[in-house]
Structure 1
C-alpha cells in the first residue's frame, strides 16, 4: 500500500513536470512569435532605407546640393544687406526678391535633404564669407555697384550649375533644379536691368 501511494505520488509529480515543460515550450513559442525576424526587419526598414537613399546619391547630386545650399544662404544674407545698404530702389527691390525666392528654395532643399537623409552644409565657405564681409562695409552707390556687379556673373554661374543638375542629376534633386531654373533666370534679367540703371 505504501509502495502504491509512493508510485502514485511519483506519477503525479512527473505529470506536473511535463505540464510545466509544455507550458514553458508554449510560452517560448509565443515569445518567438512576438519577436519574429519579420517584425525585426520591419523595425529596421526605415533606417536602412534612409542609409540606402544617401548612398544612392551620385557625386554630381552631392556636389550640387552642397553648392546650392551654400549659395542659397549667401543670396539671402546679401539680399538682406542690399535692402539696408543699397541706395537705388531697383537694387533694394532686387535684394528683397533674393531673400524671398532663395528662402523658399532653401526650404525646399532642406526638405529634400531630410527625405534623402543627406546633411547639407550650414555655413558659407571662406570665400563666400569674405564676399559678405566686404559688401557689409559698403553703403549707398558703392554698395549698389559692387552688389549688382557680383549678382550678374553669380547668377550666370548658378544657372549653369542648375542646368547641369537638371540634365545629369537624379530623382527629386533633379526635379528641384529643373523647377528652380526659371526663377534664377528671372533673377539674372532683373540684375542685368539694375546694372544698366546704376552705370
Structure 2
C-alpha cells in the first residue's frame, strides 16, 4: 500500500523549506470542510489523505514498539539493544500522540500487526544472535524509509493541521533513526549502506 502512495525521497528536500507553509493545505480540502475563517479549516478537519496517513502510520508504529521489545531481549550487539530501546521509547510516545489526534478526528486505527509485519515478527521469533541482529536492523531500515516518505506525504497533502504538525515534528526524528539503523547495519555486516543524500540533507537542515 505504501508503494501506491509514497513519492521519492527527493520530495523530502522540497518539504524541508515548505512544510510549514503547507499547513492546512487549502488545495486538498474536502467540500464539507468546516472553517474557522476563510481558507483555514476548523480543528480536526480531515481529508482522505489524513485518514489514510493516520492508519498507515499506526500500522507502522505498532511493530516499532513490539519489535523493539523483542530486540531488547534477543539482540546480541549492544548497539542493537540500545537502538531497540530508543525505538520503544520514541515510538511509544509517537503512537500515543497519533492516537489522541485520531480519536479527536474520529479515525479508527489498527490495533494488531498487519500481514507484512506479522511475517517479519514470525521470522524474528526464529532467529538468534547475529542473524537476529541483522534481520531486525535491515527491517528497521526499510520501515523507516517508508515512514519518512509517509510523513512527507502527509505534510504536503493532508488537511488536518495538527496531523501535519505532528508529521513535521516526527520527520527529523525518523530520519535520525534511519541514519542510526544504516550505521548499525554497516557495523554488523561490514558493508556500507548508501544513505540517501536527499534524506540526510533534510535531517541536517532540521537540526
Q: TM-score scaled to structure 1, two decimals?
A: 0.70
Q: After the TM superposition, which parts of structure 1 deviate over 3 Å for at least 4 consecutive aligned residues?
A: 53-56
Q: Report deviation, 1:56.
A: 4.4
**What are the superposed Cα offsets for residues 53-94 of structure 1, whole Å, 9 maximum, x if unpaired?**
899421111111001111100100111111111101111111
The DSSP-based 3-state class of the residue aligned with 1:121 is coil
Q: Say whether the 8 Å CA contact 1:83–1:96 is kept in structure 2.
A: yes
Q: How does 1:64-83 map to 2 (within 5 A)?
A: 64-83=53-72
**Matched positions, count:** 148
Closer/same/farther in 2, CA of residues 55 and 167 from structure 1, 3 Å limit:
closer
1:192 alignment counterpart: 182
Considering only aligned residues, what root-mean-square deviation do their CA atoms show, in Å? 1.8
**What are the superposed Cα offsets for residues 107-141 of structure 1, whole Å, 9 maximum, x if unpaired?**
00011112112221111211211211211211110
**Partner of residue 93 from structure 1, selected from 74, 82, 102:** 82
2:39 alignment counterpart: none
Structure of higher RCO (CA pairs closer than 8 Å, 6+ residues apart)? 2
Q: Distance in 1 between matches of 2:108 and 2:146?
A: 24
Tell me which structure has the larger Cα radius of gyration: 1
Q: Structure 2: which 5+ residue stretches go unaligned? A: 1-33, 35-41, 190-207
**Partner of residue 123 from structure 1, selected from 98, 105, 112:** 112
Query: Is 1:61 matched with 2:50?
Result: yes
Q: Distance in 1 between matches of 2:64 and 2:43?
A: 27
Query: Is 1:176 matched with 2:174?
Result: no
Task: Give the structure with the larger helix fraction.
Answer: 1
1:159 alignment counterpart: 148
Q: Say whether the 8 Å CA contact 2:77–2:133 is kept in structure 1.
A: yes
